A and B are shown apart, each in its own frame.
Chain A
Amino acid sequence: KAGVTQTPRYLIKTRGQQVTLSCSPISGHRSVSWYQQTPGQGLQFLFEYFSETQRNKGNFPGRFSGRQFSNSRSEMNVSTLELGDSALYLCASSFDKPQETQYFGPGTRLLVL
């Protein structure tokens, strides 16, 4: 079956703009998590959604938001982009809880100029 897909794969934006990233989980998976990966910080948890509800949120400013649709697809939005938002954004899905093995997408590489 198809894996986790993320679009777009690469994105270049300028400071102050906003961006929306999309994630389609594996069919049947209802939990979607988002992570930010930067060279110095590793993978940092952004938020997790299950059945259209945010169940958990990491320690990121309110400029980072997300949502999940009824088909489990998820989007994350970053408003008023800053240079420090340049990172690889990874989406992962699982049936229910992340302990049940999360499957990651290839990520969206965001560059903020």
Chain B
Amino acid sequence: DQQVKQNSPSLSVQEGRISILNCDYTNSMFDYFLWYKKYPAEGPTFLISISSIKDKNEDGRFTVFLNKSAKHLSLHIVPSQPGDSAVYFCAAVWQAGTALIFGKGTTLSVSS
């Protein structure tokens, strides 16, 4: 049973527009969420995170929103750039846990 779901396998956006990547989770024990970006032939790289005590975290062009009641988080990229084209993974963990639980990823394609 998947505890972290990224229901959109792919997303295409034009350069300069907003990219919104979504993630849903089922385990209410999760209290920390992370987004990773992965290019082909490389390992994932950390992008941004959010604790369950917050509902928004911003870092430059990247903002993550958390809606605890809906068990939903989203990553906004504004403005999108061609270099943002990659696979984005949402991950979740709980305070006492030592394992990141990942979604299956969303492939973002940004066209110029």
Give the distance to chain B from A66, nearest Cβ to Cβ, in Å: 13
Shortest CB-to-CB span from A79 to chain B, Å, is 22
Contact with B along A78-113 (1 / 0, CB 8 A): 000000000000101000011101111111000000
Residue of B with least CB distance to A97: B98
Question: CB < 8 Å: which of A33, A45, A103 contacts B46?
Answer: A103
Query: Which bracket fits the contact residues of B?
Result: 20 to 34
Give the interface residue-count category, chain A.
20 to 34
- Show the binding face of A for B, using Cβ within 8 Å: 4, 31, 33, 35, 40-45, 48, 50, 55-56, 58, 90, 92, 97-99, 101-107
Q: Which residues of A contact B25 (CB under 8 A)?
A: none
Are B32 and A43 touching (Cβ within 8 A)?
A: no
List the A side residues contacting B34 at CB < 8 Å.
Answer: 99, 101
- Indicate if B101 sits at the interface (CB-CB under 8 A): yes
* Residues in chain B within 8 A of chain A (CB atoms): 6, 32, 34, 36, 41-46, 49, 89, 91, 93, 95, 97-105
6 contacts between A and B (CB under 8 A): A42-B6, A42-B89, A42-B102, A92-B43, A99-B93, A103-B46
User: How would you classify the secondary structure of chain A's contact residues: helix, strand, loop or mixed?
Assistant: strand
Are A4 and B43 neighbours in the complex by a CB distance under 8 Å?
yes
Beta-carbon contact of B43 and A44 below 8 Å: no
Report A-chain residues with C-beta under 8 Å of the C-beta of B102: 35, 42-45
Residue of A at shortest CB range from B91?
Answer: A43
Contacts A98-B99, A99-B95, A104-B45 known; list 19 others, CB within 8 Å.
A42-B6, A42-B89, A42-B103, A42-B105, A43-B91, A44-B102, A45-B99, A45-B100, A56-B97, A56-B99, A58-B99, A90-B43, A92-B44, A97-B98, A99-B34, A99-B49, A104-B43, A106-B42, A106-B43
Give Cα A92 to B44, complex, Å.
9
Task: Please give, as numbers and ranges, the residues of chain A lying within 8 Å of B89 by CB-CB distance.
Answer: 42-43
Closest to B89 in A: A43
Minimum C-beta distance from A96 to chain B (A): 9
CA distance A96 to B23 in the complex (A): 26
